[in-house]
Amino acid sequence: MHAAVVRSFDAPPRFEEFPTPQPSTANEVLVDVIAVGLHPRVRSAADGTHYTSDGTLPMVPGVDAVGRTAHGELLYFVADDDAPGTMAEQAVVDRRRAITLPEGTDPIAVAAAMNPGMSSWVALRRRVAFQPGGSVLVMGATGNAGQLAVQIAKYLGASHVIGAGRDPHRLDLLKSLGADDLVGLDGDADAVAERLGRAAADVDVVIDYLWGKPTELAMPAVLKARTDRSKALNWIQIGSMAGLEITLPSYVLRAANLTIMGSGQGSVTAAGILAELPSLSEEIASGSLAVDPLPIPLSQVERAWSTPTGPGQRIVLTP
Which residue of this chain has its Cβ atom nearest to ligand NAP in the complex? 143
Is residue 264 close enough to count as binding ligand NAP by CB under 6 A? yes
Residues 45-104 that bind ligand NAP (CB under 6 A): none
Residues whose CB falls within 8 Å of the CB of residue 250, separated by 6 or more in sequence, listed in order: none
Residue 73 or 292: the one with the smaller Cβ distance to ligand NAP is 292
Cβ atoms of residues 100 and 135 within 8 Å? no
Q: Contact with ligand NAP (CB under 6 A): which of 86, 151, 234, 263?
A: 263
Cβ atoms of residues 225 and 205 within 8 Å? no
Is residue 170 close enough to count as binding ligand NAP by CB under 6 A? yes
DSSP bridge pairs for 237? 208, 262
Residue type at position 271: A
Cβ atoms of residues 30 and 22 within 8 Å? yes
Rounded to the nearest whole angstrom, what is the least distance from the CB of residue 267 to ligand NAP in the complex? 8
Q: Contact with ligand NAP (CB under 6 A): which of 20, 240, 257, 299?
A: 240
Q: How far apart are CA 240 and CA 41, in angstroms?
A: 11
Is residue 234 close enough to count as binding ligand NAP by CB under 6 A? no
Q: Are strands 160-165 and 135-139 parallel, antiparallel or unpaired?
A: parallel
Q: Contact with ligand NAP (CB under 6 A): which of 21, 61, 165, 319?
A: 165
Binding string, 12-51, against ligand NAP, x = CB under 6 A? ---------------------------xxx----------
Binding string, 111-150, against ligand NAP, x = CB under 6 A? ----xx--x--------------------x-xxxxx----
Q: Among candidates 129, 124, 182, 127, which has minimal Cα distance to 152?
A: 124
Rounded to the nearest whole angstrom, what is the least distance from the CB of residue 312 to ligand NAP in the complex? 8
- Extract long-range pairs of 172-175: CB within 8 Å, 24+ residues apart: 173/147, 173/311, 173/312, 174/141, 174/142, 174/147, 174/150
What residues make contact with ligand NAP under the rule CB under 6 A?
A: 39-41, 115-116, 119, 140, 142-146, 165-167, 170, 185, 209-210, 214, 238-242, 263-264
